Structure 1
Amino acid sequence: MRNKLLTKDSSLAATLIGVYAPLPLIDLDKILTIVADTYDYTASVDDEKQFNDSNLAEPLETFAQLLRKQHKQRAHVLAISCGAGWEANFLMARGFDIVGIDTSAEMLRRARNRVPGGKFQRVSMQNLQVPPEETFEAIWSTRTLIHVPPALVVDVLASWKRVLKPAGILGVGVNIGERNGWETSEALSEQPMFYHYFADGELEEALEAAGYQVVEKAYVTSKSNASESRNCFVFAQRSDTSLDKTTYSQYVQYDEHEKRRTVQPEDLESAIALLLHAGSLTPGEQANLCLLYDQLALRDRTDENRYKLAAQKLKLRLQTPETLVSEDLDVWLAMGDLHLKLAQYRQAVSCLERALRLRPNHFATLVHLSQAYAGLKNFDKAIATTHVAEHLPEQSQISDEERAELFHALGHFYIDRSLSGTNEASVQAVSYTHLRAHETDSYLV
C-alpha cells in the first residue's frame, strides 16, 4: 500500500481549512475535524473489516476480565472513537452497558445500523464532559490517540479522568511505529489523515503522567493488505492519589504587588505536571490548573507554536458550567474569565452569573460579565451590567486605570449597540465616551 507525507492541501483539507492554509499540527479541534471527515469519506472502504476486527477480541476479553475482577459485571463503559460499533457490540454481548462516541457521522450511522440496541452519540473525545453522577466505571479506546499530536497526549488522557469514576479502568490501544504527521494513502482515497504512532513504552509513560496506574499490557500484530501493524494495548486504573501539596506549595508564591498566589514562569511546567499526575483534583485545583495553562500561554506568547499549544491544553482542561460543582467565587470567576479569553461566551456568562449569585455586586465579576454579554452581542445587558459596576460603593477602592478601562469599555458597548440602533443612541455613545475619557484621559491607550 502506498503512503506518502502530505505536503500540500487536498481538496477536502482545502474545503475545511482554506485553500492555502497549512494542515494543522497542534489545533486538535481542526485535526479531528479533518480526520472525522476523512473517515466519513472513506467509510465504504473495507466496510466489513470495520465491523469484524477480530484482532481486538483478545485485548477486549482482557478488558472484560479486569472489570469482572472488580465485580463490575454490568459496568457502565464509555467507548471512545467507537467507529462502526464492533467493539461496543463485543462488550455488550458480555453484559456491559456501553455508550459509544465518535465524531464521524458516517461511522455512527453504521454503528447504529449494525448494533440496534447500542447507544451511540456524536461527541468529540477532547470535549468529554458529563455531570458527576453520570461518570463511567470504565473507558475503552483504541486507535484514538494515534490521531492526537504527541504534545497533547498526556493532557487528553488526563482530561478523560473527568468522566471516569475513581479506580475506574481504562483500556487503550495504539499502533507502534514511527509515523508522525499528515499522510495520504490509496486506502484512504488520497484523503488527509493525521498519524502519531507510539514508541515502545511511550503510552505507559503518558498514562502514569496523566494520573493512571498501569495494570497490564499486551501486544498484538495484525495483518492488512499484506502489511503488518504492531499494536500495544495498555490497561490502567485511575489513580486515587490526591495532589502532592507539599511539593506543589514549593512552586506557589504570594505576589505582594498582585495580592494573589502565583507560580514563577520557570516553574509552570513542573506545577502543571503535579496537577496532571494527581488522581483527582478539587474544583479549586482544577481552576488553578487552568490558570497555570493561561500563564503558560502568556509566557510563551511570542512563540506562536508554544502559545497555541498552551491554549489547546487550556481548552482541554476547562470544564463546562454544567459539570463544575463548587461554591467558591474565585473558582467560578477564574473559569468564567478563561472561557471569555477563549471566546466561549455562553460558558463565560454561565460561570460569571453563578459567581455573581455567590457574591452580588462583585466588581470584577460584573466587569467580566459585561464583556461576555458583549461577546454574545447582547449590548443592552453589557451596558446595564457595566453601569451597575460603575456605581458600586467599592468603586473608590479600584485604581484610576481600572476605572478608565471600565469607561472605555462602556463607550464601546454604546458604539457597538448604535451600529444597529438609532442616531440618538449613536450620539449618546459618543457623548458618554468623550465625557468619561476627559475624566481619565491620561490612562487611555
Structure 2
Amino acid sequence: MISQELKQKLSEAYDQESINRNKGETQKWKVIERQSFLQTLAQEQKNSLLEIGAGPGKDSLFFARQGMNVQATDLSEEMVKRCQEKGLKAHVMSFDDLMFPAESFHAIWALNCLLHVPKKDLPHILTEIKRTLKPDGLFYMGVYGGIDQEGVWEEDFHEPKRFFSFFKDADLEKLLQNYFRVERFNKIPMPRNDSGPIHFQGVILRN
C-alpha cells in the first residue's frame, strides 16, 4: 500500500494545479495514444472503462463522448470536481484501493499516474488493477521512463514536490509480464534534461 504521507503530498500538489491542468491542451502524441487505444477497444467491442489518475477528466471525457461507459477516479478532490463539472462519473479514490467489484471493467486507462508509485508498491497496484479488469480486459499504462530512478523530483514546479519512479524498458516489461500479457510496448521520444526520463512508455496489456 502507498503511504498516507505520499498520497497526501500528491493530493495537495494536484489540488493546487487542477485549474491550470484543466485549461491546458492535450499534447498531440497523447491524443494519438488515446485514439489508438479506443480503436482497439472498438474492434473488440469493449465498452466499459475505468480511468485511474484521471486528473481534470480530459481523457475520460474523450472516451465517454465515443459512447463508452466511463468511471473516473483521482486522489485529488479538486481534480475530481473538474471531472464532475464535465458531467463525468468521478470519485476520489486511490489506485491502491479501487473500490469496485472484481471484473468490473473491459478496460483501464492509466496515463502518467503510476509513475508516482514507489517501485516496492507497484506489484500491489498491478494486482488491484488485474482484479478489477474483466477476463481478456485491456489495460493501458502510460509512464515516462527509460532510466532507473525514483525519488522526489527536486526541480518540480508543483508544491509539495512530487515523487516519481522510472523504469528501464526491460525492467518494466519483465515486471508487467508477471501480471498481464504485453500486447504493445511503444516508446515515444521526449525532450529530456540531464537527469530526466529518456522517453514515454505506452504499454497495452491484456488480462
TM-score normalized with structure 1 length: 0.43
Structure 1 residues 231 and 124: CA distance shift in structure 2, 3 A: same
Number of aligned residue pairs: give it: 204
CA shift for structure 1 position 151: 1.5
- Please, which of 7, 15, 18 is the counterpart of residue 43 of structure 1? 18
Per the alignment, residue 31 of structure 1 pairs with 6
CA offset digits 1:54-85 (Å, max 9, x no partner): 3311111221122122222xx11000000011
CA shift for structure 1 position 90: 1.7
Note if 1:80 corresponds to 2:52.
yes
Structure 1 residues 162 and 186: CA distance shift in structure 2, 3 A: closer
| Equivalent residues of 2:71, 2:90 under 8 A apart | yes
**In structure 2, what is the Cα distance between the partners aligned to 1:46 and 1:130?**
27
**In structure 2, what is the Cα distance between the partners aligned to 1:129 and 1:59?**
27
Note if 1:102 corresponds to 2:74.
yes
| Equivalent residues of 1:185, 1:191 under 8 A apart | no
Per the alignment, residue 218 of structure 1 pairs with 186
Q: 1:106 is matched by which residue type in structure 2?
A: E
Q: 1:91 is matched by which residue type in structure 2?
A: F
CA shift for structure 1 position 236: 0.8
CA RMSD, 1 decimal: 2.4
| Equivalent residues of 1:85, 1:100 under 8 A apart | yes
Structure 1: unaligned runs, 5 residues or longer: 1-25, 239-445
Per the alignment, residue 40 of structure 2 pairs with 66
Structure 1 residues 121 and 229: CA distance shift in structure 2, 3 A: farther
CA shift for structure 1 position 45: 4.1
Note if 1:156 corresponds to 2:130.
no
| Equivalent residues of 1:79, 1:101 under 8 A apart | yes
**In structure 2, what is the Cα distance between the partners aligned to 1:179 and 1:169?**
27
- Please, which of 125, 128, 131 is the counterpart of residue 95 of structure 2? 125
| Equivalent residues of 2:18, 2:55 under 8 A apart | no
Structure 1 residues 48 and 158: CA distance shift in structure 2, 3 A: same
| Equivalent residues of 1:59, 1:218 under 8 A apart | no
Q: 1:48 is matched by which residue type in structure 2?
A: K
Identity %: 24
TM-score normalized with structure 2 length: 0.87
**In structure 1, what is the Cα distance between the partners aligned to 2:79 and 2:156?**
20
User: Per chain length, whose mean CA-contact separation is higher, i.e. which structure has more relative contact order (CA < 8 Å, sep 6+)?
Assistant: 2
| Equivalent residues of 2:53, 2:110 under 8 A apart | yes
Structure 1 residues 234 and 156: CA distance shift in structure 2, 3 A: same
Q: 1:101 is matched by which residue type in structure 2?
A: T
Per the alignment, residue 203 of structure 2 pairs with 234
Q: Secondary structure, in 3 states, of the residue corresponding to 1:201?
A: helix
CA offset digits 1:76-135 (Å, max 9, x no partner): 10000000111112212222111000010111122222x22x111111110013234x71
Q: Secondary structure, in 3 states, of the residue corresponding to 2:11?
A: helix
**In structure 2, what is the Cα distance between the partners aligned to 1:28 and 1:207?**
22
- Please, which of 90, 96, 108 is the counterpart of residue 62 of structure 2? 90
Q: Which has the larger radius of gyration?
A: 1
- Please, which of 132, 135, 159 is the counterpart of residue 166 of structure 1? 135
Note if 1:191 corresponds to 2:160.
yes
CA offset digits 1:220-244 (Å, max 9, x no partner): 23569xx986211110110xxxxxx
**In structure 2, what is the Cα distance between the partners aligned to 1:207 and 1:34?**
27
Q: Secondary structure, in 3 states, of the residue corresponding to 1:121?
A: strand
CA shift for structure 1 position 140: 0.5
Q: Secondary structure, in 3 states, of the residue corresponding to 1:126?
A: coil
CA offset digits 1:276-306 (Å, max 9, x no partner): xxxxxxxxxxxxxxxxxxxxxxxxxxxxxxx
Counterpart mapping for 1:3-402 below 5 A: 27-49=2-24, 52-72=26-46, 75-113=47-85, 115-116=86-87, 118-132=88-102, 135-176=104-145, 177-185=147-155, 187-188=157-158, 190-209=159-178, 211-222=179-190, 230-238=199-207
**In structure 1, what is the Cα distance between the partners aligned to 2:14 and 2:70?**
22
Per the alignment, residue 283 of structure 1 pairs with none
Structure 1 residues 144 and 96: CA distance shift in structure 2, 3 A: same
Structure ranking higher in helix proportion: 1
